[in-house]
Amino acid sequence: MTQYFDFTHTVQSEEIDAQGHVHNLRYLQWTLWAAGADTRSKGWDAEKALREGFGWVVRSHDATYRAAALSGDYITVRTWVSEIAKFASRRKYLVCRTEDKTVLARVETRWVYVDLRVRKVVKIPDSASSLLTISEQTPPLPWE
């Protein structure tokens, strides 16, 4: 099984801010989309978990922006799980513009599993952690 997942996206004109480039919150949105697509591809049923009163929630984001994305750019968000513990997992992302081999951002998110009925962090169930493949090393860039 591949230890990383690629999510692709073409930057839309409505994602451009007043400074003429993609607003930083969009990068975080792309990482959330990538994480969701990755877990769905591995069989995670978020709707079922929600019906049962559980879900993944972001505890923290750490983002380092390196270059600006512009309207029409084709980007790849490469994501992988770098760590999983009893109550949290850590997912990393490379947001890249492959056309010119540019890393636009490096992002890391700490996810926790929450009982949404009482709004409390709970142990990650085996049914969730068994779907996650841990990658202890940073995967290659999308163009490598």
Q: What CATH code is carried by the domain that includes residue 78? A: 3.10.129.10
**What whole-number distance in Å separates Cα of residue 137 and Cα of residue 31?**
19
139 inside domain:
no
Predicted TM-score of the model (pTM): 0.93
Tell me the pLDDT tens digit for each residue of 89-122.
999 999 999 999 999 999 999 999 999 999 999 9
- According to DSSP, residue 73 is labeled -
What are the distances in angstroms from CA 49 to CA 56, 64, 94, 114, 117? 9, 31, 28, 10, 12
- Which range of residues forms the domain containing residue 93? 5-129
CA separation, residue 119 to residues 45, 57, 60 (Å): 20, 10, 16
Residue 142 included in any domain = no
**Count of structural domains within the chain:** 1
Tell whether 64 is covered by a domain. Answer: yes
pLDDT in tens, 1-35: 578 999 999 999 999 999 999 999 999 999 999 99
How remote is the C-alpha of 69 from its chain's centroid? 17
Whether 59 is in a domain gets the answer yes
